[in-house]
Amino acid sequence: MVNSLVSGAEEYLDLAAGIVIVIDAGQIVRFINEKGCALLEASKEDVIGKNWFDHFVPEKQREKIRNLFLQLLQTKEIPVKDYESIVETKKNNIRFIRWYNTVISQEKDQPSGILSLGEDITDKTILLQRLSMQEETKRQQLVTAVIDAQEKERNEIAAELHDNVNQILTTCKLLLEQEIYTGNKSPFIANTSQYLQTAIDEIRNISHRLSPISLENTSFKQAVQEMVNKINLSSRLKVNVMIEGSEYLDSLPSSISLSVFRILQEQLSNIIKYAEATNVEINLHADETSVDFEVKDNGTGFDLKKVTRGLGLKSIYSRAGLHDGRVYINTAPGEGCVLSVHIPYQ
């Protein structure tokens, strides 16, 4: 039945603009036109009589395409009327083909093979891939520019707080201390002096957190550990860190590693301010495709439905979003909070 279908029509099929191929139920090629031979860089003798999947489908896609063929024969229907796949030529070159299929049936509707018409879309596919790569490069350049601008703004704010605002507060405190030194015992002045010192300390901490970090002269793991050590020394909060895949983290684009660091920094700051937690666990894993991390605290938690995103959470979502990342928050009143972040980079 397969041979009879194309018998007498070979001359017309050879004039077709695309590849025309007939594969029987045993996966053997029974017919191929001249255009198909040219595309496969082979003669008809090289193709006809051969198992199509074993000889002309790349190994990585072989079973998937073979199963699609078998499913088509069993159901007598086209599971995918047109689909794209890769073929491997006799000279080991790769071509991208869009296929259109028809089931060939014998008497009693028993399928005997498949007639497939293929359109070579290799040039179009390569062009689209190149355009996609160019778009991704532009996107990465934009992400880097945005992060650089954010870091520059943070640096300017940090410098202004440290060099200007803090100096003004320090001067006010010195004047109050002079008043106390001359004999003024007013509790208001003494309390004001203490409040000023608290404000000075807080602004200094904010300034240090805002100032840009450099991951060029230190590893990502060391930078995170230094941040955690400062928290462990200066508060009742105990932070434990587990990092896997440091070699991948140190080879990341600086924009991604900086964003991961800032998200960790922001979440720790949120916990210190609001969570009333005593313990935090940070687990971070990186591999060749993505970085995933979780920050878990034993604090008071909150109701996600009732809490609007403040500046801290907005910053976390914004940082992750720059890299097409995803942020998940699992929390409830009295049950602590788990922040999970996934950032892909390939």
Shared domain for 134 and 97, answered yes or no, is: no
pLDDT in tens, 307-336: 766 667 888 888 888 888 999 999 999 999
Beta bridge partners of 344: 290
Neighbours of 50 (CB within 10 A): 16
In whole angstroms, what is the distance from residue 127 CA to residue 96 CA? Answer: 12
Q: Is 242 exposed, middle or buried (0-12, 13-18, 19+ CB in 10 A)?
A: exposed
Q: What pLDDT does 208 receive?
A: 62
Same domain? For 271 and 190 the reply is: no
- Residues 321, 143: Cα–Cα separation, whole Å: 10
Whether residues 242 and 295 fall in one domain? yes
Do 16 and 116 fall within a single domain?
A: yes
**CATH number for the domain harbouring residue 318:** 3.30.565.10
Burial of 257 per CB tally in 10 Å (0-12, 13-18, 19+): buried
What is the percentage of the chain residues whose pLDDT exceeds 70? 79
Indicate whether 282 and 293 sit together in one domain.
yes
User: Residue 2's pLDDT band (boundaries 50, 70, 90)?
Assistant: very low
- Do 297 and 268 share a structural domain? yes
Nearest to 283 by CA among 242, 324, 230, 338: 242
Average pLDDT, the chain: 81
Q: Which of 120, 155, 181 is the last residue of a domain?
A: 120
Model confidence at 188: pLDDT above 80: no
Task: Please report where in the chains the tokens 């106390």 appear, as a residue.
Answer: 180
Exposed, middle or buried by CB within 10 Å (0-12, 13-18, 19+), for 122? Answer: middle
Residue 279, strand partner residues:
238
Of 274 and 312, more confident: 274
Higher local confidence (pLDDT), 218 or 95: 95
Last residue of a domain, one of 193, 212, 231: 212
3-state secondary structure of 226: helix
**How far apart (Å, rounded) are the C-alpha atoms in residues 228 and 268?**
9
Model pLDDT, residue 242:
95
Spatial CA neighbour of 313 closest among 283, 270, 258: 270
Q: What's the N-to-C CA distance of the chain in angstroms?
A: 49
pLDDT in tens, 60-86: 888 988 888 888 877 755 555 667 888
Asked if 66 and 144 sit in the same domain, the reply is no
Domain of residue 284, residue span: 213-346
- Same domain for 323 and 234: yes
- Shared domain for 204 and 222, answered yes or no, is no
Which residue type is seen at 265? Q
Q: Last residue of a domain, which of 212, 243, 264?
A: 212
User: What angle, rounded to 10 degrees, do the helices at 254-270 and 122-160 form?
Assistant: 50
CA 146 to CA 152: how far, in whole Å?
Answer: 10
CB atoms under 10 Å from CB of 165, counted, come to 16
d(CA 346, CA 343): 10
Lowest-confidence segment of 161-170, 217-226, 269-278 by average pLDDT: 161-170
Same domain, 332 and 258: yes
| 56 plus 178 within the same structural domain | no
Are 301 and 346 part of one and the same domain? yes
The total domain count for the chain is 3
pLDDT tens track for 215-268: 666 788 888 998 899 888 877 889 999 999 988 888 888 888 888 988 998 898
